[in-house]
């Protein structure tokens, strides 16, 4: 699949681009000639189970790790030579381990505001944006996991980066908190920020991502928009028919099922008809032979 992931030279300028990137650790190949690109204001989902190469990809893209071969470009620069000027345009959310737990929420952001020469007024703006305005004087170590994740996000976007890396940003959060944080990502996209998202949550990817790549054992096994991928693997077209008595009937394109559908239609029993594409989870299992967890 990697060799047919063609880079779109007619698309908007790439914010992040990898072409035939390979990473080897001794006798282990972590990434096998992967290629993808992200344009301005896009959310790109990198989906795969633990150990598939997602975090390795982020480390290469952020200059923390060199690739064995291939080309990695970040904001038009070689990722292996990222300098301070590039880092000032990047935000990273991995986990909450970088929080200064003994300092207040406000002071955690103040440190980074001083580092990036960001006006202090922006701290209050961001605390309101991530829903922590009522916790600015609270000790960071006493926040809940969801609140800590919001603090890390606020810190990552404090300097208005052009590119944001999110490594499993909602892992372990309750559904309500996860939804609120996902909505923040969509707001950032609307502001023109490009986002590289790693996740094993297919529902999250479907909600957020403009494009996704499915990664298995260091290989991109599928790519495209969520809709394109699901349609591509909808070989046996099925339909969900809701009848007027609220019964639901699942039918395919066989002659027998078409006859059943025609009968319901002629009798005026049909309320709605919807096509049923496979989910991203089902596609991943099909192309990789394994689940995401």
Task: Considering the chain, tell me which residue range(s) the CATH 3.40.50.300 domain(s) occupy.
Answer: 13-89+162-176+188-233
How high is the pLDDT of residue 249? 85
Q: What is the 3-state secondary structure (H, E, C) of 137-168?
A: CCEHHHCCHHHHHHHHHHHHHCCCCCEEEEEC
Question: Residue 13 pLDDT more than 90?
Answer: no
Question: Which CATH superfamily, name and number, covers 13-89+162-176+188-233?
Answer: P-loop containing nucleotide triphosphate hydrolases (3.40.50.300)
Query: What does the mean pLDDT of the chain come to?
Result: 89
How high is the pLDDT of residue 236? 67
How much is the average pLDDT of 44-56?
A: 91
How high is the pLDDT of residue 233? 82
CB neighbours of 254 closer than 8 A, spacing ≥ 6?
A: none
Global confidence as pTM: 0.81
How high is the pLDDT of residue 152? 93
How much is the average pLDDT of 216-223?
A: 93
Least confident interval from 68-72, 131-135, 154-158, 275-279: 275-279
* Burial category of 275 from C-beta neighbours within 10 Å (exposed 0-12, middle 13-18, buried 19 and up): exposed
- C-alpha–C-alpha distance, residues 101 and 30, integer Å: 34
Confidence of residue 3 (pLDDT cuts 50, 70, 90): very low
- C-alpha–C-alpha distance, residues 7 and 15, integer Å: 13
- C-alpha–C-alpha distance, residues 258 and 277, integer Å: 18
Question: Residue 278 pLDDT more than 90?
Answer: no
Question: Residue 219 pLDDT more than 90?
Answer: yes
| Other beta carbons less than 10 A from residue 190's beta carbon | 9
- C-alpha–C-alpha distance, residues 124 and 265, integer Å: 59
How much is the average pLDDT of 85-99?
A: 87
How high is the pLDDT of residue 16? 97
């Amino acid at each position: 699949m990697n060799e047919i992931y063609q880079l779109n030279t007619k698309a908007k300028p790439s914010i992040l681009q990898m072409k035939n990137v390979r990473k080897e650790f001794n006798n282990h190949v972590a990434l096998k000639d992967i290629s993808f690109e992200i344009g301005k204001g896009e959310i790109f989902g990198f989906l795969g189970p633990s150990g598939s190469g997602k975090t390795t990809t982020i480390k290469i893209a952020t200059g923390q790790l060199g690739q064995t071969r291939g080309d990695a470009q970040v904001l038009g620069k070689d990722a292996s030579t990222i300098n301070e000027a590039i880092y000032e345009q990047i935000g990273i959310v991995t986990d909450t381990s970088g929080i200064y737990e003994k300092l207040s929420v406000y002071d955690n952001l103040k440190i980074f505001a001083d580092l990036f020469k960001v006006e202090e007024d922006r701290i209050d703006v961001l605390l309101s944006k991530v829903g922590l305005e009522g916790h600015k004087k609270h000790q960071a170590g006493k926040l809940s996991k969801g609140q800590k994740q919001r603090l890390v996000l606020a810190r990552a976007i404090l300097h208005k980066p052009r590119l944001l890396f999110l490594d499993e940003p909602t892992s372990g959060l309750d559904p309500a908190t996860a939804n609120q944080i996902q909505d923040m990502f969509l707001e950032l996209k609307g502001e023109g920020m490009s986002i590289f998202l790693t996740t094993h949550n297919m529902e999250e990817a479907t909600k957020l991502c403009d494009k996704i790549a499915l990664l298995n054992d260091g290989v991109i096994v599928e790519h495209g928009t969520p809709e394109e991928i699901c349609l591509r693997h909808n070989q046996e077209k099925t339909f969900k028919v809701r009848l007027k008595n609220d019964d639901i009937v699942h039918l395919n394109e066989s002659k027998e099922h078409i006859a059943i559908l025609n009968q319901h239609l002629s009798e005026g029993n049909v309320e709605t008809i919807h096509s049923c594409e496979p989910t991203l989870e089902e596609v991943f299992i099909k192309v990789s032979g394994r689940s995401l967890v």
